[in-house]
């Protein structure tokens, strides 16, 4: 069945109205593009990622993103402080397990973070499989598995932690223990620029804060990326012009554009 668009389409207006403060502890490749994506959707970024301030900031943020792309020792300390503080304060936080499965230290570190019960986990299929302990991960930060091959893994993580788990790929999936939504469309040009997935983690955090609901917020964020990337790709010559057109499109997408994205929901009977 189709997920009623009135369950997630209003989230966009809510992000623009409430401008959620999203604290990002993210990798050094995508800091700027992530802040720009948040501004383009109407949210307010703050990249507070030093140990002395990370917990303080998380307690007052609307949502927190923890992205493991370039996890220095100092950042790992800050991530534990931010996730603990968010968990304690009831602030939604999103884990993006970049490169988990492909690289050793971050694979173990991600398990420590799961104990702090993220509100949502967002990654590609290989990362989600590796996080659940199946599969060896992708190559570096890229996926080597299909989204459908990660659904059981996503459900296992949802069951273990209470998180909503979003798996990205040609068709995205948002998974809770007894629900799966598939978000169709989008553009493969998102995989040809830095931060296509990483900024989606930050926008997912913004949408969850604005929605007050992890499942609707995660679906809204993925539908927004599908609509905006299609709009940008239609006018682009390649990855360079797609990058800036995508930011313009995040700003220009309307609630009815979002409602037009194909979203199918099924009720999972297993698990
Ligand atoms: N083949 C594709 N066609 C259309 N959209 C795609 C395709 N592959 C990925 N996407 C979209 O690109 C975005 C990022 O997904 P991707 O799976 O590339 O994340 P990721 O691997 O975590 O990215 P990153 O390299 O930033 O960490 C999502 O919105 C997803 O829907
Ligand atoms: C290229 C790259 N390396 C570590 S993080 C990152 C950004 C995309 O995930
Ligand atoms: Mg990624």
Identify the burial level of 184 via C-beta atoms within 10 angstroms of its C-beta, where 0-12 means exposed, 13-18 middle and 19 or more buried. Answer: middle
pLDDT computed for residue 3 by the predictor: 57
Interval between CA 103 and ligand 3 midpoint (Å): 13
Q: For ligand 2, atom 4, which residue shows the shortest CA distance?
A: 69
Q: What residues are designated binding site?
A: 47, 122, 168, 195
Q: For ligand 2, atom 5, which residue shows the shortest CA distance?
A: 69
Q: Which ligand 1 atom sits closest to the C-alpha of 194?
A: 26
pLDDT computed for residue 237 by the predictor: 96
Q: What residues are designated binding site for substrate?
A: 47, 195
- Which residues approach ligand 2 with their CB closer than 6 A? 27, 29-30, 69-70, 98, 141, 194, 198
Interval between CA 126 and ligand 3 midpoint (Å): 10
Interval between CA 125 and ligand 1 midpoint (Å): 10
pLDDT computed for residue 68 by the predictor: 98
Long-range contacts of 243-250 (CB under 8 A, 24+ apart): 243/33, 243/193, 246/189, 246/190, 246/193, 247/36, 247/37, 247/40, 248/40, 250/37, 250/40, 250/41, 250/203, 250/224
Per-residue pLDDT in tens (0 to 9) along the chain, 271 residues: 555 678 888 999 999 999 999 999 999 999 999 999 999 999 999 999 999 999 999 999 999 999 999 999 999 999 999 999 999 999 999 999 999 999 999 999 999 999 999 999 999 999 999 999 997 777 778 777 799 999 999 999 999 999 999 999 999 999 999 999 999 999 999 999 999 999 999 999 999 999 999 999 999 999 999 999 999 999 999 999 999 999 999 999 999 999 999 999 988 655 4
Strand pairing class (263-267; 179-183):
antiparallel
Collapsed DSSP state (helix, strand, coil) of residue 174? strand
The domain segmentation of the chain, as residue ranges, is 5-267
CATH of the domain spanning 5-267: 3.40.1190.20
pLDDT computed for residue 271 by the predictor: 43
- Measured CA to CA, the distance from residue 186 to residue 230 in angstroms comes to 5
pLDDT computed for residue 5 by the predictor: 77
pLDDT computed for residue 136 by the predictor: 78
- Measured CA to CA, the distance from residue 204 to residue 260 in angstroms comes to 19
Q: Which ligand 2 atom sits closest to the C-alpha of 28?
A: 5
* Cβ atoms within 10 Å, residue 266: 12
Interval between CA 60 and ligand 1 midpoint (Å): 30
Instruction: Give the torsion through C-alpha atoms of 103, 106, 108, 111, to 10 deg.
Output: -130
- Measured CA to CA, the distance from residue 247 to residue 267 in angstroms comes to 34
Q: How far apart are the first and last CA of the chain?
A: 20
CB 157 within 8 A of CB 114: yes
The question of ipTM being above 0.85 is answered as yes
Q: Residue for token digits 């989606």?
A: 200
Q: Which ligand 1 atom sits closest to the C-alpha of 198?
A: 26
Interval between CA 153 and ligand 2 midpoint (Å): 23
Beta-bridge partner residues of 122: 166
Q: Which ligand 2 atom sits closest to the C-alpha of 98?
A: 9
pLDDT computed for residue 144 by the predictor: 73
- Measured CA to CA, the distance from residue 32 to residue 166 in angstroms comes to 23
């Amino acid at each position: 069945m189709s997920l009623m668009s009135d369950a997630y389409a209003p989230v966009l207006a809510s992000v623009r109205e409430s401008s959620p403060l999203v604290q990002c502890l993210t990798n050094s490749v995508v800091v700027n593009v992530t802040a720009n994506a948040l501004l383009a959707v109407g949210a307010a970024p703050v990249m507070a990622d030093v140990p002395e301030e990370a917990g303080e900031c998380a307690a007052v943020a609307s949502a927190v993103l923890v992205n493991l792309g370039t996890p220095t020792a100092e950042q790992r300390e800050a991530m534990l402080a931010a996730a603990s503080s968010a968990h304690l304060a009831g602030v939604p936080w999103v884990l993006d397990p970049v490169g988990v499965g492909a690289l050793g230290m971050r694979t173990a570190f991600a398990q420590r973070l799961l104990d702090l019960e993220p509100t949502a986990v967002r990654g590609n299929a290989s990362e989600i499989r590796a996080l659940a302990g199946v599969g060896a991960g992708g190559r570096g930060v890229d996926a080597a598995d299909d989204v459908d091959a990660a659904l059981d893994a996503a459900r296992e993580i949802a069951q273990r932690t209470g998180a909503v788990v979003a798996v990205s790929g040609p068709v995205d999936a948002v998974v809770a223990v007894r629900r799966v939504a598939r978000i169709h469309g989008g553009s493969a040009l998102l995989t040809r620029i830095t931060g296509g997935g990483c900024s989606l983690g930050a926008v997912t955090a913004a949408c969850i804060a604005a929605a007050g609901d992890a499942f609707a917020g995660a679906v809204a964020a993925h539908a927004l990326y599908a609509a905006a990337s299609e709009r940008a790709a239609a006018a682009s010559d390649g990855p360079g012009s797609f990058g800036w057109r995508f930011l313009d499109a995040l700003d220009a997408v309307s609630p009815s554009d979002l409602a037009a994205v194909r979203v199918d929901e099924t009720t999972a009977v297993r698990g």
